[in-house]
Amino acid sequence: MAAFSGLSGVAGIAGLSTCASAQTDWPADWPADSLKAIARSRGLRFGSALGGQEPESQQRFGFADPAYRALIARECELLVHENEMKWQALRPSRDRFEFTRADAILQWAETQGLSTRGHTLLWQAPRWLPAWLNQLDFGSTPVKAAEAILREHIRTVTQRYGRRIMSWDVVNESVAHEDGELRANAFSPHLGTFGQVELAFRYAAEYAPHAELVYNDYMGMGRYFIKHRAGVLKLLDGLRKRDAPVHALGLQAHVGTSANGEWSGRGGEDEREWRRFLDEVTGMGLKLLITEFDVSDQHLLADTARRDTEVAAIGKAFLDITLSYRQLRDVLCWGMADAYSWLQVFGPRTDQLMKRGTPYDAHLQPKPLRQALAAALRAAPPR
């Protein structure tokens, strides 16, 4: 069992990954049917996030590992940049765009025949916007200035990639989890918290008329998300009433258990509430995507076998319900292997064991969660 704790954990995982990197072929004992083939047989598409180096992050990213890239190419037909298309990555300053890292991943995806989703044209929380924007003086005509900055960003990014990106997370996480209200940021005094969302979708439709335009958020099953779900419904309904060009809701699907067992929600009432939510969203004429699936095992017992079984069961319960909606066509994991998962850094386990919330372990060996994904995809009603 690999331990994960800050820098020593990073070194430990690095060692494991060197050993994994020696394998460049698909090992004979890996699953015969790829997840993308299983998904395709049901009219679905399967994919994953992939990240390159991120300055100042403790997280490890798999793009530099040939074995991990081979795994992604084998299992996936969709790809999304984990970080490289965010404002913080693309916009070192107001007057500069930096596309090198985003381009590299996109080019690799294309050589492998993968389609890339774009994430994200506006992440509303100030924490994930660049410091220069958070501190910006919008001048004497602030509404015009704010509109111009948002428009320029969306125009430049979408036009650079054109039809190479056919689906965009236009706006990410506008709704505050705690109270269901929209998040304030540097744009909100000038454009409004709702207004900036609407504008972002209008600009995206103007400059990427070919693309599927998605609102992406992490509201999930369970009581923990009651206000969050209500806030998302209110936002989507508001956008619809104003005829804003929104096509789909991205369900991030970071499922799992919290300390009080409330996070993921399993059991009758939680599942009914989740269906009610999905019914309302699809009732608005919106499509669904699973955009960032993984399972947090932060509060599960240490024993590896039991933990893996529980992780698979939590994941499968969520997938079975959610995949029953034929309006859902795309399923993406937020990373395919534990060594490269954000879960190791955000909310680590108190026993410092590596979290096991993705389909493959740190040696790139498949786990019960991979089987659960395969089974859920197989059981999905055909599209």
Interface contacts to ligand 9MR, rule CB under 6 A: 51, 57, 59, 82-83, 86, 128, 172, 218, 252, 292, 342, 346
Contact 42, 81 (CB under 8 A): no
Least distance in Å: CB of 378 to ligand 9MR? 27
Residue (38 or 255) nearer to ligand 9MR, CB? 255
Least distance in Å: CB of 113 to ligand 9MR? 24
Least distance in Å: CB of 58 to ligand 9MR? 9
Residue (235 or 374) nearer to ligand 9MR, CB? 235
Positive or negative: CA dihedral 71, 76, 79, 83: negative
Residue (83 or 257) nearer to ligand 9MR, CB? 83
Q: What are the residues facing 333 on neighbouring strands?
A: 48, 293
Residue (26 or 99) nearer to ligand 9MR, CB? 99
Residue with tokens 């969306």: 154
Residue (360 or 380) nearer to ligand 9MR, CB? 360
Helix (H) or strand (E) holding 7: helix 6-21
Rg (CA), the chain: 20
Q: Pull the structure tokens for residue 288.
A: 């669904």
C-alpha neighbours within 13 Å on the C-beta side of residue 286? 29
Least distance in Å: CB of 255 to ligand 9MR? 13
Least distance in Å: CB of 216 to ligand 9MR? 7
Residue (198 or 292) nearer to ligand 9MR, CB? 292
Least distance in Å: CB of 57 to ligand 9MR? 5
Angle among Cα 121, 126, 128 to the nearest 5 degrees reads: 55
For 107-120, give the secondary structure using H, E and C: HHHHHCCCEEEEEE
- In sequence order, the 6+-apart residues with CB closer than 8 A to the CB of 172 are 119, 120, 122, 123, 124, 216, 217
Residue with tokens 């850094």: 345
Which DSSP symbol is given to 255? E
Give phi and psi for 343, each to the nearest 5: -60, -25
Residue (81 or 190) nearer to ligand 9MR, CB? 81
Residue nearest ligand 9MR (C-beta atom): 342
Q: What are the residues facing 274 on neighbouring strands?
A: none
The beta-strand segments (E) located in 16-103 are 45-50, 78-81
Least distance in Å: CB of 54 to ligand 9MR? 6
Residue (90 or 246) nearer to ligand 9MR, CB? 90
Which DSSP symbol is given to 123? E
